[in-house]
Structure 1
Amino acid sequence: MAGIKEIRTKIKSVQNTSKITKAMEMVAASKMRKAQDRMRAGRPYATKVREIAANLMQAHPDYHHAYMDDRGKASAVGIVLVSTDKGLCGGLNTNITRLVLNRIKEFKEDGVKVQATALGNKGLSFLTRIGVDLVSQEVQLGDTPNLERLIGAIKVQLDDFVDGKIDAVYIATNRFVNTMKQDPSFIRLLPLPSGLADPFQAGEFGQEQQADTKSQYGWDYIYEPDSKTVIDDLLMRYVEGLVYQAVAENMASEQSARMVAMKAASDNAKKIIGDLQLVYNKTRQAAITKEISEIVGGAAAV
């Protein structure tokens, strides 16, 4: 009977775990819809800022911003790793950290120095563990991206690029494709290309997107206070929009991955409970049969 009691306790434990995973699945599903809405809502803003900035730069081809300074072969780069603060979201963090680790190895093989910024607790733990030069960090991002907090961490990398300490800035994030698929992406943030292509649509600034951003018309703007100030502010807003979009994409990916992982955990719990119930019934039946045999044997002896 001790075996039956242990199996009954095991079944109860798995049932309790199943209730937790089911609740987490439902919470993740609710948060996923909100995260997807925020992600999609941010895309038109970034698209419009990119279009206006591209038109202004076409109207002033002689103007050159520091963010567009392509210095050729890089001797030092900055990496911004966007990750989650919590686990239980499948292989989401593992995939992006593996991609970043491979890129860091490639940079070091080429003699390129690497400095990093961590957005999210899991990425911070990873970068600390592998010993990368960590220049800034921001954790406990919550469920809604806060642009002020993000820019506070990213500004260190942007200032180092402008000062010439690093030659490029990359951002690593999970790009949301659909509920079942999230692509780990390694995107170049700086220097910006001349066409201001959308990196989330063309990978690492694909040429096909650059052609789409060029306007067929001439644009005449009224500037206040002057064109240089307007372009500078627009490019800064564009970079901020890319960072915000990267975090929003990762948050949508996180909730989708967590929902799928918790659903798989709940399904596995049901399967385990079914197997344990079968073992329990067989063990209980064997115990009853043994007791009956002992009673029959005792009666025959009498």
Structure 2
Amino acid sequence: MASMRDIKNRIENVSSTEQLIKAMDTIASTKLHKARLQLNGVRPMYNGLKEQVEEIGEREDALNHAFYEEREVKNSLYVVMTSNQGYVGSYNSAVLNAALEHMDDGREEKILSIGTKALSYFRKREKNIVRKITDVADSHVYYGSQEIAQWITNQYLTEEVDEVYIVYSKFVNVLTHEPKVEKILPIKSNFTYLGYESDREYEPSISSVIDHLVPLYLHMNIFRAFSEAHTSEQSARMVNMDSAGKNASELIRELTLSYNRQRQGAITQELSEIVGGTNFD
């Protein structure tokens, strides 16, 4: 049985850890609030652009454009988004498992790993990492997304890769985020479900419109995925820290009870020794 001093030291250590957990919980909560505002701002813009590029994809004169044309797949590029830090529960493992499962179909894959967790995961499995990004600050996500979108576009148009997938965690609510594997190039139209075909005219030409619209769409797609992933990460960290805080509080309660029992036992024993040693003659 641990001594009273050992129990007291452990209570102090757990209490110190509990304070650290509370601080991390507060930070995650603040970051989550900011991330949700950013996500709510980018989602409408992304959805509008997605509708436009898919509407264009319904036109026969757009199907031969490089961004829409299906070609034989020799190399697939996966853009995998994970966190740089831990304490996020199953957030990273869910995304990485989804990516790995999707890759297992015989294609030659290239990987753009975003976040240290993706980098270490794919390195251990000796996957073909063609580029790694581990230092995108929150304030640089917008322009960082633009640079990544330009790099992806160049890889695709020069036929270094024949299709591009993005793997990230979609934010649903504070308790739910879903791993997603989405094909972003070539663009596949899902616009027909709206039940009509557009007769919109494009000037100076539909090819020119595509050349300018699709890069913006890809930029917003990457930025939106970053926002989804970042919001999911902070949500997972906040929930994880909240759970850890409750566990720490429960452990402190149990240790305090154990300390008080031993203290009471020691006092009782001391009183018994005093009474037993008293001479009433």
Q: Which moved more, 1:10-19 or 1:141-150?
A: 141-150
Change (3 A) 1:258 1:121: same
| Matched residue, 2:154 | 159
| Matched residue, 1:19 | 19
| Matched residue, 2:78 | 79
1:105-133, CA deviations, whole angstroms, 9 ceiling, x for partnerless residues? Answer: x13xx2x2111001122212222222111
1:146 aligns with 2:141: yes
1:125, 1:54 → 2: CA distance?
36
| Matched residue, 2:200 | 219
2:279, 2:123 → 1: CA distance?
75
1:39 aligns with 2:58: no
1:181, 1:298 → 2: CA distance?
66
Amino acid at match of 1:218: D
Amino acid at match of 2:138: D
| Matched residue, 1:289 | 268
Change (3 A) 1:36 1:213: farther
Percent identity between matched residues is 28
1:246 aligns with 2:225: yes
1:34-64, CA deviations, whole angstroms, 9 ceiling, x for partnerless residues? Answer: 1111111111111222333344455x52232
2:271, 2:100 → 1: CA distance?
65
Q: What SS does the aligned partner of 1:289 have?
A: helix
| Matched residue, 2:248 | 269
| Matched residue, 1:181 | 176
Asked if structure 1 preserves the Cα contact closer than 8 Å seen for 2:114 and 2:134, the reply is yes
2:194, 2:42 → 1: CA distance?
18
TM superposition shift of 1:83: 0.8
1:169 aligns with 2:164: yes
Q: TM-score, normalised by structure 1?
A: 0.84
2:229, 2:201 → 1: CA distance?
37
2:140, 2:28 → 1: CA distance?
17
1:42-89, CA deviations, whole angstroms, 9 ceiling, x for partnerless residues? Answer: 11111222333344455x5223221222125x3321111101121111
TM superposition shift of 1:228: 2.1
Amino acid at match of 1:152: E
Write out the 4+ residue segments of structure 1 that deviate beyond 6 Å after TM superposition.
none
| Matched residue, 2:89 | 90
1:113-160, CA deviations, whole angstroms, 9 ceiling, x for partnerless residues? Answer: 111001122212222222111111222222345233234345444333
1:14, 1:213 → 2: CA distance?
58
1:228 aligns with 2:207: yes
Change (3 A) 1:216 1:102: closer
1:78, 1:46 → 2: CA distance?
21
Amino acid at match of 2:154: D
Asked if structure 2 preserves the Cα contact closer than 8 Å seen for 1:138 and 1:149, the reply is no
| Matched residue, 2:119 | 124
Amino acid at match of 1:127: F
1:145, 1:214 → 2: CA distance?
40
When the two chains are superposed, the root-mean-square deviation of aligned CA atoms in Å is 2.4
2:172, 2:279 → 1: CA distance?
74
Q: TM-score, normalised by structure 2?
A: 0.90
| Matched residue, 2:67 | 67
| Matched residue, 1:10 | 10
2:37, 2:195 → 1: CA distance?
28
Amino acid at match of 2:207: K
1:299 aligns with 2:278: yes
| Matched residue, 1:237 | 216
TM superposition shift of 1:27: 1.6
Q: How many residues align?
A: 280
1:185, 1:218 → 2: CA distance?
33
Q: What SS does the aligned partner of 1:67 have?
A: coil
TM superposition shift of 1:165: 3.2
Structure 2 residue ranges without an equivalent (≥5)? none
Change (3 A) 1:53 1:96: closer
Q: Which moved more, 1:147-156 or 1:291-300?
A: 147-156
